């Protein structure tokens, strides 16, 4: 039996932090791991920026609620759901993802969580575990699933490497060059035949 | 972070084989593990009965498509989905479950699969793995999830024992007596406070 393990941001929904930066006008929230490579330093910086602007969880989720999934994402998931179980494995936070997962018909999401004070202030974050995408694939393999892994960027490569079938979706050019072993897809219609072929392998 | 791992038949949908027996009028399909304790013997018996009646997969799924989830199941899942990821772990077969999973909004399903000939004849079955409910709980624990396990019968006890919170839903009286450590719920409204309490434990 197969299972699809897919990244979220860049595959089904836009990048959340970048959109929060755009919609709040807070430029500093555009920082990514390309600017600050240490994820914990980056996250603590983001949370201090939110605090400095007195932005609480409800403010951020209101912004996220105004975002939409990528065009065609819901239709693609509706095509996929009858064929195979799906787990979305993401480095986002459960509280941020909610409004977008609702618009995607609530696929099962494995991600991290935020620590939130009673007034909605985001006081910290909890990674469910390090290297969470690879670990998810390893655990599902132990359950005798054949894994179709999908992702768009560096932090998905461990997942794609653990998967029986790894597929890149709209990756940046450097990822394409560095990992030529993975087929590259640019839209959902290109994904479908690759998934059909993987499922047909039995 | 929490995850709900739940049985399917008896919790969200009626017993599939029993309903197929009722709707086809084939009494022998009512046989369960209470009548034939060896699951493989039982399954081969069921498949030979289907073959004797020239029933193919499409005939069975047509019957199943006429079934409905238990009353309130969809509403309960819609209540649960925004709060926690859900995985339905079942000993049914992916081809049988489809029509009912659709009516439940396609929660992620871990189950087994049938071997089907091109004309739809069911030629065999493949267990994804033995003791699949316990194994699913163990794997999800490795991913640092706290598990809320739900089920109705003997074959769910391993799942409930592995779970951080185990809950019986409409169990038969002998299961209630034999496993008094698990709280017993009779409807979805009774489940909700137990799930809320488990989630609140953080």
Averaged pLDDT, A117-130: 95
Confidence of residue B37 (pLDDT cuts 50, 70, 90): confident
pTM: 0.94
Of A106, A126, A129, the CB nearest to B143: A129
Q: What is the 3-state secondary structure (H, E, C) of B51-98?
A: HHCCCCHHHHHHHHHCCCCCCCHHHHHHHHCCCCCEEEEEEEEHHHHH
Report CB contact under 8 Å: A82, B105: no
Q: How far is CA B103 from CA A3, A166, B5, B95, B100, in A?
A: 20, 31, 19, 14, 5
Q: Which helix (H) or strand (E) holds A37?
A: none
The predicted pLDDT at position B35 comes to 82
Q: Determine the distance in angstroms separating the CA of A133 from the nearest CA of chain B, rounded to an integer.
A: 10
Q: Provide, as residue numbers in chain B, all residues whose Cβ is less than 8 Å from the Cβ of A136.
A: 143
The CA-based dihedral angle spanning residues A116, A119, A121, A122, taken in that order and rounded to the nearest 10 degrees: 10
Judge: B108–A102 Cβ closer than 8 Å, yes or no. Answer: no
φ and ψ at A34, to 5 degrees? -70, -30
Query: Beta strand pairing status for A146-151 and A108-116?
Result: unpaired
Would strands B165-169 and A86-93 be described as parallel, antiparallel, or unpaired? Answer: unpaired
Are the C-beta atoms of B126 and A102 separated by less than 8 Å? no
Q: What angle do CA A84, A110, B188 make, to 5 degrees?
A: 80
CB B150 within 8 A of CB B167: yes
> Is the predicted pLDDT of residue A34 greater than 90, yes or no?
no
Q: Give the pLDDT confidence score for residue B33 in this predicted structure.
A: 76
* Phi (first) and psi of residue B201, to 5 degrees: -70, -15
The CA-CA-CA angle for residues A125, B82, A126, to 5°, reads 10
A9 is catalytic: yes
Domains of chain A: 2-13+70-112+126-200 (3.40.50.1000)
**pLDDT per position as a tens digit, A46-102:** 999 999 999 999 999 999 999 999 999 999 999 999 999 999 999 999 999 999 999
* Separation between Cα atoms, residue B66 and residue B106, nearest integer Å: 17
**Catalytic annotation present for B9:** yes
Q: B32 and chain A: CB distance < 8 Å anywhere?
A: no
Quick check: A82 and B106 CB within 8 A? yes
> What is the helix, strand, coil percentage profile of chain B, to 5?
45, 20, 35
pLDDT reported for residue B178: 96
Q: What confidence tier does B58 reach under pLDDT thresholds 50, 70, 90?
A: very high
Provide, as residue numbers in chain B, all residues whose Cβ is less than 8 Å from the Cβ of A128: 1, 143-145
Answer whether B1 touches A (CB < 8 Å). Answer: yes
- Distance between A195 CA and the closest CA of chain B, angstroms: 17
């Amino acid at each position: 039996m197969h299972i699809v393990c897919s990244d979220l941001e860049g595959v089904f929904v836009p990048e959340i932090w970048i959109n929060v930066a755009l919609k709040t006008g807070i430029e500093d929230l555009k920082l990514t791991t390309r600017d600050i490579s240490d994820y914990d330093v980056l996250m603590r910086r983001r949370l201090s920026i939110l605090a400095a602007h007195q932005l609480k969880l409800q403010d951020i989720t209101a912004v996220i609620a105004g975002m939409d999934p990528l065009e065609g994402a819901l239709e693609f998931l509706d095509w996929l759901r009858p064929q195979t179980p799906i787990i979305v494995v993401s480095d986002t936070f459960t509280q941020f993802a909610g409004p977008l997962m609702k618009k995607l018909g609530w696929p099962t999401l494995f991600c991290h969580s935020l620590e939130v004070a009673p007034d909605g202030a985001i006081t910290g974050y909890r990674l469910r575990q390090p290297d969470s995408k690879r670990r998810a694939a390893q655990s599902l393999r132990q359950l005798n699933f054949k894994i179709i892994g999908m992702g768009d960027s560096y932090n998905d490569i461990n997942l794609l490497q653990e998967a029986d079938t790894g597929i890149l979706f709209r990756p940046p050019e450097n990822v394409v060059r560095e990992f030529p072993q993975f087929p590259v897809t640019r839209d959902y219609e290109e994904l479908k035949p690759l998934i059909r072929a993987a499922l047909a392998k039995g």
